[in-house]
Each structure stands twice: as structure tokens, then as C-alpha cells.
Amino acid sequence: MNKQIIKRIEPKESVSMNIEHAIEKEAEITDLSQYGFTTFFEKQITEEDKNKNLIPARVIEIHREVFKVVSSYGQSTARLKGANFYAENTSVEYPAIGDFVMIQKNQGGEDIIYRLLDRKSFFSRANPTLGMGEQVVATNFDYVFLMESLNFDFNLAKLERYLTVAWESGGSPVVILTKADLCEEVEDYVEQVESIAPGVDIFPISSVTGEGLEEVLDYIKPGKTVVFLGSSGIGKSSLVNALAGEEVMETNEIREIDSRGRHTTTHRQLILLPNNRIIIDTPGMRTLGIWNANDGVSETFSDVEDITRMCKFSNCNHDSEPGCAVKEALENGNLTMKRWKSYLKLKREARFMERKARMSKQTMKIKKKGK
Ligand SMILES: Nc1nc2c(ncn2[C@@H]2O[C@H](COP(=O)(O)OP(=O)(O)OP(=O)(O)O)[C@@H](O)[C@H]2O)c(=O)[nH]1
Ligand SMILES: [Zn+2]
């Protein structure tokens, strides 16, 4: 694919020069497997798709209704086929960052997105614009990097919450402890994390000294997609740059800031690193709450749930009932009060979000009827 075409269709105002530069170097794209296309997606392509000359593509950026995609023809912009996505009485999902879609190439114009392929993993959050419903923010990733910094704001409870969300998403959680250069007791922290995340891989890293970066790069296999989950300032952008070996993301020091003194990330993106590792870094991921996380809670707290199942009564409130296994475990130290409280808190939150989701579905139904 030649650079001319790619240049012409870049939405200039919204893509930072650095990323454009990085992408240009990847302009010779012929193989979508570099972008994570596997047999899982290939198998979904039908005869009908082929008859219509549809080809697979991955969504790498979204600007309102304009999608930036990459296919065997390289990068292009595309729009949804109205009849397939906007027709009344259909409830098809719109593509999100990371999605594989079937497109029709349109020489000299925008490509048309016909349909969405099934996802192997996704993150969603409560829709912030409508105040209701669910919004998918990232899809088809293999690993979820749960990021916590090793300096003052290290927070195990938050990590537990991320873990819950990650299990739920379909990706594999990996804990990344950032800013190791600022911490003297790295091993202590690693042990603390091990206690709440048994069996999960943990990497202490520093984007400043380079500690742990080789290990992380080795760990991500080519063609695999990673999403980052972590609070602002934890070092996500710095890690992307460090892994890429060049400045593909702006970090805090050199950013434009808005009136509240904070950087505002305005678009979502999927970044292809050298050696075909893929990172999804979207603002949506940065405001992720807990949504339908009940199963995830159970995975993260399987030890706690094992205990609750040993209570004498199946509907035990773990309060003052006789034969309460939780009470016993708290007394003999098999369960810490802290972990029990985290569990109860996440349970409550998950239940609340579920109720909210049910309510919003009802509201939508009522609205549709009333229309
Ligand atoms: N000492 C040290 N500082 C780091 C490291 N990684 C990031 N920082 C600093 O931490 C600050 C925030 O880093 P960013 O990479 O912008 O953090 P972010 O998670 O992308 O932040 P948001 O974009 O706000 O979500 C910057 O001042 C970085 O220089 C590290 O490994 N060691
Ligand atoms: Zn009990």
C-alpha cells in the first residue's frame, strides 16, 4: 500500500503527529494477522460475505461516526452501512475499538462497514453520555494489564476491583507494578499482590530505568492485544512509549492541559508496536467502573466464596447465625476482615450495577413503546 493513499485519508486534526509517524512506518500492511486477526475471526466469514466482496478489517480509532480501520489494504476510513446498523427495530451493536468488522472497499471514498464479527473479549462501562445503558469501550484483547504504581498511591483494594473487572472481560489479567525505581521494597509489594491475586503474573517495571520491560515484551506474544487498566498518572503512556521504543504517546510533562489543569484525551486508539504487539489505550478504559461484575467477583474472591458455602444455612447472612463459617474464619484468622470487607463492597457494587442495567433496559422498553 502506498503512503500517498494513507496520508490522504488520515483525519489530520485528530491524530497526533507522533502516532501518524509511527503508523506510516507500518504502511506496508498486507497481513491482518499482525493486527491480531486469527482463525477465531476468520471462521466467521461467510459465503455471503465473500459474494459481496467484503473483507475483514480492525477498528483502530473512532471519531463519532467515522471509523478508522486497517485491512489488507492498509488504513482507511469507513462508515457504518445505514441499513444494517441504523434501521428501526434493530438492536445491532456498533463497532468499538479493537473490533473486527467486514467492510466493502470503496475506491476513492470511504469504505462501508457491513457487519461486526463476534468478539472474544470486551470491556464495557455504564454509558456516560446517556446516563444509562452499556457502552463497549475496548474489544478483542488477550491481556489486561492491571496497573498500580509502587509509589505512594499503591492500593490493593483498587487492584482487587480491577481484577474482578478483568476476569469478567474475557482477557487474562496481568499485574504491572509501575515506577519500581521509586520504591525500595518492591518484593514486599509483589508479595502483597500475590496474596490477593493468586496465580496471576506480576511484573514490577520502570519506564525510567527500563527494569522489567524486556520481560513484559517477551511475555506479550506477537499478534496479541493488550489493554491497560489503571488510574491517571500511573504511567500507562510512559509504558506504551517504553515498549514501543519511541514516543508514540504524549506523557504528562509535555501535554496540553485544559482549564482544570488536566490533560484531556479526546480520541481512542489502537497502537501497533514494533514486532506486532498491539495496545489499546482508550479514554473509555480510563473511566471504567464495574458493570455486570458478579462472575468476576466470584473468580477474584473464590477463597471467600468457598468459605461462605460452608455456612450451616445456605441463606446465611454471616451475621449472628449459628454455624457461620465466615464468622469462624474471621475468628481463627483464615479470612482477614479487610478481605471480607472488600468482598462485601464489590458484591454490593456489582449488585447495584446489575439493578441499574435492568432498570435502564426497562426504561428503554417503555420509551420505545411510548414512541
Ligand atoms: N520515576 C518514574 N516516573 C514515571 C514512570 N512512569 C511514568 N512516570 C511519570 O509519571 C507521570 C505520569 O506518567 P504517564 O505515563 O503520563 O501516566 P498515564 O497513566 O498515561 O496518565 P494518564 O494519561 O493521565 O492516564 C509522568 O510524570 C511520568 O514521567 C516510572 O517508571 N518511573
Ligand atoms: Zn455465614
What does the H/E/C string look like for 209-253?
CCCCHHHHHHHCCCCCEEEEECCCCCCHHHHHHHHHCCCCCCCHH
Where along the chain do the CATH 2.40.50.140 domains lie?
3-118
172 marked as binding residue = no
DSSP 93: P
Q: With the C-alpha atoms ordered 46, 47, 49, 55, is the resulting torsion angle positive or negative?
A: positive
What pLDDT band is residue 357 in, cutting at 50, 70 and 90? Answer: low
Ligand 1 centroid – CA 239 distance (Å): 8
Residue with the bigger pLDDT between 262 and 204: it is: 204
62 marked as binding residue = no
Count Cα neighbours of 128 within 13 Å in the Cβ-side half-sphere. Answer: 10
195 marked as binding residue = no
Q: How far apart are CA 127 and CA 135, in angstroms?
A: 5
Ligand 1 centroid – CA 198 distance (Å): 27
Which ligand 1 atom sits closest to the C-alpha of 207? 31
Q: Which of 2-11, 73-82, 332-341 has the lowest mean pLDDT?
A: 2-11
Where along the chain do the CATH 1.10.40.50 domains lie?
294-370
> What does the pLDDT read at residue 93?
87
Find the helix packing angle between 186-196 and 156-169, rounded to 10°.
50
Residue of the nearest CA to atom 21 in ligand 1?
Answer: 233
Q: What is the CATH T-level fold of the domain 3-118, as seen in this structure?
A: OB fold (Dihydrolipoamide Acetyltransferase, E2P) (2.40.50)
Residue 354 pLDDT > 70, yes or no? no
Write the CB contacts of 6 (distance below 8 Å, at least 6 apart in sequence).
23, 24, 27, 74, 75
Average pLDDT, the chain: 79
Contact by Cβ (8 Å): 267, 66: no
Residue 18 pLDDT > 70, yes or no? no
Write the CB contacts of 113 (distance below 8 Å, at least 6 apart in sequence).
57, 67, 69, 78, 79, 80, 81, 85, 95, 101, 102, 103
Residue of the nearest CA to atom 12 in ligand 1?
Answer: 233
What pLDDT band is residue 98 in, cutting at 50, 70 and 90? Answer: very high
Residue of the nearest CA to atom 8 in ligand 1?
Answer: 235
> What does the pLDDT read at residue 286?
62
Ligand 2 centroid – CA 155 distance (Å): 28
Is 3.40.50.300 the CATH number for 123-130+136-286?
A: yes
Where along the chain do the CATH 3.40.50.300 domains lie?
123-130+136-286
pLDDT (average), residues 246-250? 61
Q: Report the complex ipTM.
A: 0.94
Q: What is the CATH T-level fold of the domain 294-370, as seen in this structure?
A: Ribonucleotide Reductase Protein R1; domain 1 (1.10.40)
pLDDT (average), residues 23-46? 79
Within 6 Å (CB) of ligand 1, which residues are found?
A: 178-179, 181-182, 206-208, 232-238, 251-253, 263, 286
Name the pTM for this structure: 0.71
324 marked as binding residue = yes
Q: Which of 216, 251, 282 to mutate to test the pocket of ligand 1 (most atoms within 8 A of CB)?
A: 251
* String of DSSP letters for 162-191: HHHHHHHHTSEEEEEEE-GGG-S-HHHHHH
Q: Which of 71-80, 97-106, 337-346 has the lowest mean pLDDT?
A: 337-346
| pLDDT tens-place string over residues 163-192 | 888 888 899 999 999 999 989 899 999 999
> What does the pLDDT read at residue 323?
93
Give the number of the ligand closest to the Cα of residue 240. 1
> What does the pLDDT read at residue 328?
94
- Closest of 144, 214, 202 to residue 178, by C-alpha: 202
361 marked as binding residue = no
DSSP 3-state of 5: helix
Angle at 250 between CA 245 and CA 255, to 5 degrees: 155
